[in-house]
Amino acid sequence: MAVTSNPVFKPAYLFLQSGERFSGFVPSWYEGTTDGEVVFTTGMAGYPESLTDPSYCGQILCFTYPLMGNYGVADASTWESPKIQARAAIMHEVLLTPEHHSQAEALLEWLEAEQIPVLLGVDTRALTKVLSEHGVVLGAISSQAKAPKHFDDPNKEHLVKQVSCKKVTTYGNGPLKIIAVDCGIKMNIIRELLKFPVTVKRVPFDYDYTQEDYDGLFLSNGPGDPALCVETIRILQQALQYKPEIPVFGICLGSQILGLAIHAQTYKLPFGHRGQNQPVIDTRTQKAYLTSQNHGYAVDANTLPQGWQISFRHLNDDTVAGISDELGLHSAVQFHPEACPGPEDPNFLFAQFIERIRTAK
């Protein structure tokens, strides 16, 4: 691989809790050990959006596509959050000198500026096969040849608390008022909502909005175990009880939060769904869509209460990809209709949410 002969790189290793070791190279500035949950994404593009997606907080992200960085990194206005959220990255090969009209810097320059470790020269497809066999495992990137004695489990941390906004922020000035609960919201979700005549009030994960005046409630994506979002679930339960006429729409973690709020259960998937080519089917129309996904937990279909139904299913493993109440007022999907990166097939769900708000209003 081209970068292996470059003097700014040195040998390093990925250790998995399951016992495997993968050799590679890290930039010369990196020292020490970085641990986290090792996950893979099958996307062929969109690495700046993936790395800045708060849903990857606490994770070491392996890119299965063999060549990364070929179009550099654009300025922060295109990112999903103000910084890289993944703890580290694993790639086979990186283009050191990209040329693209929109690039602000090269991928490796960006990673170094944000002090995010990257392990290069890894057979990422072999690693993905291991993860597919074992399921998601804990791991560590280290400049030392000896495996660490302990692997930190980020899912025991309240990751949503780490990535949620600290203060209320308002976007737009339209007549329809939407509360957006920020559990790690992607900026492209806000961009999609602002295509409609709305005012979006972005609030922290533990913000009590139940006494406020709003026309729609949005539950965002985010990282980690949804069961740890006790405050978010409790406040949503109160909103559903006291303002049942207000439409609710959730994405990714928001789907799990909604599920837990209606007393369904969630569980951890073997290796999650991450990538831009994940097929789902609408259970009502039997129409299939290609979607962008990034989650490690799902709603248990057998625990949905009376009055709720499965609206979408994942075609790869038949897991729940969306839920809704029988009246069609409240709904959530496990995938990302805002894409970025990914297909825009299910983008119409935003328009449906706005129409539900208008009808209810």
Q: Does residue 6 surpass a pLDDT of 80?
A: no
pLDDT for residue 342: 80
Distances (CA, A) of 85 to 29, 54, 111, 126, 160: 19, 5, 11, 25, 12
Of the chain, the percentage scoring pLDDT greater than 70 comes to 98
Contact at 8 Å (CB) between 269 and 297? yes
Contact at 8 Å (CB) between 37 and 85? no
pLDDT for residue 105: 94
Q: What is the pLDDT of residues 244-299, one digit of tens each?
A: 999 999 999 999 999 999 999 999 998 889 988 899 999 999 999 999 999 999 99
Rg for the chain (alpha carbons), in Å?
20
* Token output for 327: 């009246």
pLDDT for residue 301: 97
The H-or-E segment that residue 313 falls in is: strand 308-314
Query: What is the rounded average pLDDT of the residues 227-242?
Result: 97
Domain definitions of the chain by residue range? 2-156, 159-360
Q: Which residues are identified as catalytic?
A: 252
DSSP 120-189: BS--HHHHHHHHHHH-SEEEEEESSSSPPS----GGGS-HHHHHS-SS-EEE---SEEEEEEESS--HHH
Q: Does residue 152 surpass a pLDDT of 50?
A: yes
Nearest to 64 by CA among 38, 35, 86: 38
Question: How far is residue 331's CA from residue 238's CA, in Å, rounded to a whole number?
Answer: 17
Contact at 8 Å (CB) between 322 and 352? no
Query: What is the rounded average pLDDT of the residues 97-117?
Result: 93
Q: Does residue 96 surpass a pLDDT of 50?
A: yes
Nearest to 120 by CA among 141, 149, 103: 141
pLDDT for residue 4: 36
Q: Does residue 8 surpass a pLDDT of 90?
A: no
Distances (CA, A) of 104 to 69, 75, 211, 286: 12, 6, 44, 43
Q: Mean pLDDT for the chain?
A: 94
Question: How far is residue 317's CA from residue 283's CA, in Å, rounded to a whole number?
Answer: 15
**Which residue do the tokens 């959006």 mark?**
49
pLDDT for residue 2: 36
**Which residue do the tokens 């489990």 mark?**
153
Pick the CATH number of 2-156 from 3.50.50.60, 2.40.50.100, 1.20.120.1460, 3.50.30.20: 3.50.30.20
Nearest to 168 by CA among 211, 114, 120, 206: 206
Q: pLDDT class for 123, splitting at 50, 70, 90? A: very high
Q: Does residue 242 surpass a pLDDT of 60?
A: yes
* Token output for 274: 């991450």
pLDDT for residue 361: 83
Instruction: Give the range among 149-158, 195-204, 321-330, 349-358 with minimum mean pLDDT.
Output: 149-158
Q: What is the pLDDT of residues 32-78, one digit of tens each?
A: 999 999 999 988 889 999 999 999 999 999 999 999 999 999 999 99
pLDDT for residue 1: 34
Whole-structure pTM value: 0.94
**CATH architecture, domain defined by 159-360:** 3-Layer(aba) Sandwich (3.40)
Question: How far is residue 194's CA from residue 169's CA, in Å, rounded to a whole number?
Answer: 14
Residue 157: φ, ψ to 5°: -90, 155
pLDDT for residue 5: 38
